[in-house]
Amino acid sequence: MAVFSLKVLRHPQPDETLHLYTDASDVAVGGMLANEEGHPIAFFSHTLNPTQRRWSTTEQECYGLYFGMTKMKRYLAGRHFVTHTDHRNLLFAHKSTNAKVIRWRLAMNEFDFDLVHIPGQENTVADMLSRLVHVSTAEASLNKRETFKAHHGGSAGHLGVRATCRRIANAGQSWPGLHKDVQQWVSECPVCQLTRLNVQPVGQHPHALAGTYPFQVVQMDHIGPLDGHPSLRHALVVVDTFSKLTQVYPTQSTSTAEVINSLEHWIKHYGIPEAIVSDNASGFSSQAFKSFVAENGIRHELGTAYHPAGRGVVERRNAEIKRHLKAFTLESGRSWPEEVPNTVILLNDIPYEYSGLSANAALFGKQLHTTNNATDDSPISLEHFRSSLLALQAHQGSAVSREPPSETHAPIVGAAVLLRRDTPVGPIIRGPMRVLSPGDHPNVYTLKDLTTLATVTAHADSLYTFKGSYTDAELQRWAARLHNEYVVRGVDAHRCRQRNLQFHVLWHGYDDSEATWEPFTRDLDKLAALDDYLAEHPQLLKKMKSARKAL
């Protein structure tokens, strides 16, 4: 007789004899109370503590009998009943000298019962209730996942973690760790990840691009072409990231020679910096420039490729310089190179919001007297100067050490990510994509677009983790759905129409009867399905060569 084959519980009748079945194991005691016909009235089970597990078998069996009587006391008190055990030694418990057995026997004397020995095969219910039941972890996990799917996705919608947990609980289902499981499954739900922008950004390698004292780190960039002068069309902007001191050097071009010439002017006035931060423009990436910085012991950072915000100091200065140059030239009628000194003086005299000090004040301890206009050029008090510099240094230090996510959380090769592109009409999400490799610069990665099979380079700031374990085919289908695109399942034929090569394309999710003829394009040329078709039709290689030239 097994528990799951038993009939529903019955209420005990006053005139019937009840039967108590008990058993014990090394981990628990358990049993069943039944009526004369064998219908169950109640079940019980109790786990043994570490001390009880060290008892002898007779002690554990006697404790099971005692526990069963006290547990079922509301049914057994004041009436005669029969107890059943498969441990024969309990029949002689009244002769035992064991202190524990004596105490339990005395406690059971308040009951009116007969003790009967039965074979173990007739005591299966009590035996099962006294043992640990083996539950298949894989099966239990599958059942939980199926329960989650019944309440999340499809017609149930894609609710958040709490709402989904409430929905499962309201359906009368629960298990230990429900909230944690639902939280993980919701975070890995493809639809939720593709429709919510608050997904987890990928980690970044710590990469400081600002200095904590004057002239430690400088950022530079070109502005131009600028109109208004016959030969000077560009300008190199150099900014000290600590004080924000700015210099603008008009140039004829963005060549390396002019960059080096401008930097030599900077070094003569302010010394050799520890690091220079720039983009990867040709003037900063040539072998001549690399030799120049190496000879001067300067570390050149190109780590902000695909991420202009990494050069935020000089980028903001560029915008201010162009605005002030335009204002000065509009008012004076002079050429922009003639107004560069006024622009530089103005920028270096503007107080910095975090410290209240301008670049000049931070470096020289006072506002410089540069015009005939009455200005307060008196020295700043030493205490105020000190506190302001400490505030500036603290702000720069926090910017340098501001926690980027730990390097261990950076995307690994093969991980799935979403790519965010900001546009005038709002952010656009592309992907999911696969990470192919780290790029040549810090926090830059090469990705594979699974729908076009093109490679994409992006900064970690625009990447978001796509959680869950999905195959390329699954990711490709989700990416295609997101962008209303179609996924190629295969190519099964070709033809030429007006000297244009066309291929018969089978689409994923559609019958062969819905295949279409598509002209040969660069995107089609990237498809693995086309490569497979060409491998089976080598006679096409000559035509393909001509078709590729025509693209």
Q: 13: buried, middle or exposed (CB in 10 Å: 19+, 13-18, 0-12)?
A: exposed
Q: How many CB atoms lie within 10 A of CB 222?
A: 22
Amino acid at 297: G
Task: Write down the pLDDT at residue 232.
Answer: 93
Over its length of 551 residues, how does the chain's per-residue pLDDT go in tens digits?
455 455 678 899 988 999 999 999 999 999 999 999 889 999 999 999 999 999 999 999 999 999 999 999 999 999 999 999 999 989 988 888 899 999 999 999 999 999 999 998 888 888 888 887 655 555 566 688 888 888 888 888 888 899 999 999 888 888 888 999 999 999 888 888 887 755 555 655 544 466 678 888 899 999 988 888 889 999 999 998 888 889 999 999 999 999 999 999 999 999 999 999 888 888 898 999 999 999 999 998 875 455 555 556 788 888 889 988 888 888 888 999 999 999 998 888 887 765 567 887 777 766 666 654 545 555 555 555 455 556 555 555 554 444 444 444 566 888 898 888 765 555 677 889 999 988 776 678 889 888 777 788 888 778 888 888 888 888 888 888 777 777 788 899 998 887 788 899 998 778 888 889 988 888 788 787 888 898 888 888 888 888 888 87
Q: Would you call the peptide bond into 225 cis, given omega within 30 degrees of 0 as the criterion?
A: yes
- CA–CA dist 352, 202 (Å, integer): 32
Residue 219 pairs in a beta bridge with: 239, 277
Q: What is the DSSP letter of 352?
A: P
Q: What is the pTM of this model?
A: 0.47
User: What b/e sequence results for 293-315 when a residue is b if at least 16 CB atoms lie within 10 Å of its CB, and e otherwise?
Assistant: beeeebebbbbbbbbeebbbbbb
pLDDT given for residue 265 in this prediction = 93
d(CA 31, CA 124): 9
Q: 167 with 159: CB under 8 angstroms?
A: yes
What is the DSSP secondary structure assignment for residue 409, as one 8-state letter?
A: G
**What are the distances in angstroms from CA 124 to CA 11, 47, 53, 72?**
22, 18, 21, 19
Using only C-alpha atoms, what is the Rg of the chain?
Answer: 40
Tell me: cis bond preceding 214? Omega within 30 of 0 counts.
Answer: no
Look at residues 431, 521, 506, 505 and name the one whose alpha carbon lies nearest to residue 472: 431
